[in-house]
Each structure stands twice: as C-alpha cells, then as structure tokens.
C-alpha cells in the first residue's frame, strides 16, 4: 500500500531540509509531494534545487494559504493513502505507522493523530492556544456528532479515493473544519490515535492565530448546514 505524503510549505527554510530527511527515512512505500505557497525566506530557492527520487515539488506564484497548497498536492496524489505533513518539526513522521495500521487492517477510512489522546511526549507551552484547540474541537463535535479530541491536528490520514468524492474549497486554515465536517457527513469510519507533539511558539514560526480560530466557527456552521 503506497502512501502519499503531502507537505504544504510557507517560509520554512530553517526546517525544510530536516523534515524532508525525516519523511524519507520512514520505511513505508511512499511518494512525497511538496507545495511551496510562495515562500520569501529562501525556502522556494532551496526547493528549486532539490533533486530526489519519489519527490515532486510544485510552486504557487502567489501566497494562497495552507488549504490551497493542499489542494495542489492532492491533485497529484498517486498513492492509496494520503497523509498531511506540516513542514515544521512539530510532528514525527515515524508515527505514520500508528495511523496507517488502522487503514491497512480495514478498520478505518480516516485516521486523526491526536496530540491530546496520548501517553507520548509532548512539548509544554501555549496554554491559551491549547485551550483554543480544545474549544474548537468541542464545538466541532457538537456540530458533527463526532467525539474527536483533536480536530485541528495536522496529522490527518485517509484513503486517497475519498478525494474523488469530496469537493474541498477552503484556501487557508479553514481546511481543517471543512474536511472534518465533510468526512462526518459521509459517515466514513474515523479513528484517532495518540501521537507525540513538539510544538513551536510564535517566536519560532508558528503561524495560526486567534483570527483563524474565530473563522473556524463559521466554517463549521457553513459546511454542516449550508454547503455540500
């Protein structure tokens, strides 16, 4: 079973080389699809020189957002299963096995890697950011009738065929609630597994802010009640 790792990238020159190395080291048949969302810190230039087997790189000609980068990546997927990988070092690619196991065994269509449902190590910081994530997950669960612990997690792994049945619209961080509502409405088999987490603070490059969190509330309502 082939895994397609889709990596949206924006201004990650400090981590891009290392995250590629870590993903490459995972002992799973895979392809790596990197989409640069018009980085301005040297990331784009680095990726333009990248030459490696099983890696495709695509470039946006203007900054459009994480969701837009994912859409571009999804359009070039050739694997059986897709996983989203942020370009920072917050998530450990060696844990793909934990998520993939449930799909390979035929038990799940979608698997979320939860930062809160875990006995693994996680960096301690940003109380209000963590509380905001839990609040958004709570509201998402109310609207979707799911019982997730981490709706906003980067690690979402799913069968590639799902992309053929789902029209995704959101260009920015609204991808997370849109995807969650739509997999819930399709009544797909959704699982969670605990993962480790090595979070960044804003001085280290974390990008999502409180305004993105407020927008999530609208996206949850929109895709549950007013859109397909």
pLDDT at 206 over 60: no
Residue in the structure block whose two tokens are 């669960």: 141
Per-residue confidence (pLDDT) for residue 172, from 0 to 100: 93
Query: Which range, 45-59, 116-130, 196-210, is most confident?
Result: 45-59
Give residue-wise pLDDT tens across range 70-126.
Answer: 999 999 999 999 999 999 999 999 999 999 999 999 999 999 999 988 767 767 667
Give residue-wise pLDDT tens across range 177-197.
Answer: 999 999 999 999 999 999 999
Per-residue confidence (pLDDT) for residue 154, from 0 to 100: 96
- Of 181 and 216, the one with more pLDDT: 181
Helix (H) / strand (E) element for 48: namely helix 43-48
Residue in the structure block whose two tokens are 């002992």: 27
Q: Are 129 and 135 in contact (CB under 8 A)?
A: no
pLDDT at 54 over 90: yes
Q: Are 175 and 70 in contact (CB under 8 A)?
A: yes
What's the CA dihedral at 80, 85, 91, 96 to 10 degrees?
10
**Rounded Cα gap, residues 205 and 108, in angstroms:** 33
Residue 123, phi then psi, degrees to nearest 5: -70, 140
Q: What is the dotted CATH code of the domain comprising 3-226?
A: 3.90.550.10
Per-residue confidence (pLDDT) for residue 201, from 0 to 100: 67
Q: Taking all residues of the chain, what is their mean pLDDT, rounded to a whole number?
A: 92
| Pairing label, strands 30-36, 156-159 | unpaired
pLDDT band at 200 (very low <50, low <70, confident <90, very high): low
Give residue-wise pLDDT tens across range 143-170.
Answer: 999 999 999 999 999 999 999 999 999 9
- Of 102 and 127, the one with more pLDDT: 102
Helix 210-221 to helix 175-185 angle (10° resolution) is 30
Q: How many Cα atoms occupy the beta-carbon half-sphere of 16 within 13 Å?
A: 23
Convert 193-228 into a string of H (helix), E (strand) and C (coil). Answer: EECCECCCCHHHCCCCCHHHHHHHHHHHHHHHHHCC
Global pTM reads 0.91
């Amino acid at each position: 079973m082939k895994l397609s790792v889709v990596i949206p990238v924006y201004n990650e020159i400090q981590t891009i080389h290392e995250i590629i190395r870590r993903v490459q080291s995972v002992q799973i048949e895979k392809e790596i699809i990197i989409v640069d969302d018009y980085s301005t810190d040297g990331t784009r230039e680095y990726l333009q020189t990248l030459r490696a087997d099983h890696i495709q790189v695509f470039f946006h000609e203007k900054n459009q957002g994480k969701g837009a980068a994912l859409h571009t990546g999804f359009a070039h997927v050739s694997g059986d299963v897709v996983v989203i990988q942020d370009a920072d070092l917050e998530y450990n690619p060696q844990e793909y096995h934990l998520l993939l196991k449930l799909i390979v065994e035929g038990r799940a269509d979608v698997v979320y890697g939860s930062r809160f449902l875990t006995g693994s190590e996680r960096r301690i910081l940003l109380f209000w950011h963590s509380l905001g994530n839990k609040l958004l997950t709570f509201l998402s669960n109310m609207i979707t009738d799911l019982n997730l612990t981490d709706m906003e997690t980067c690690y979402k792994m799913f069968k590639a065929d799902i992309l053929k049945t789902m029209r995704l619209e959101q260009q920015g961080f609204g991808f997370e609630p849109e995807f969650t509502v739509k997999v819930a409405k399709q009544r797909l088999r959704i699982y969670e597994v605990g993962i480790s987490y090595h979070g960044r603070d804003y001085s280290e490059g974390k990008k999502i802010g409180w305004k993105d969190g407020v927008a999530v509330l609208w996206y949850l309502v929109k895709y549950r009640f007013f859109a397909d």
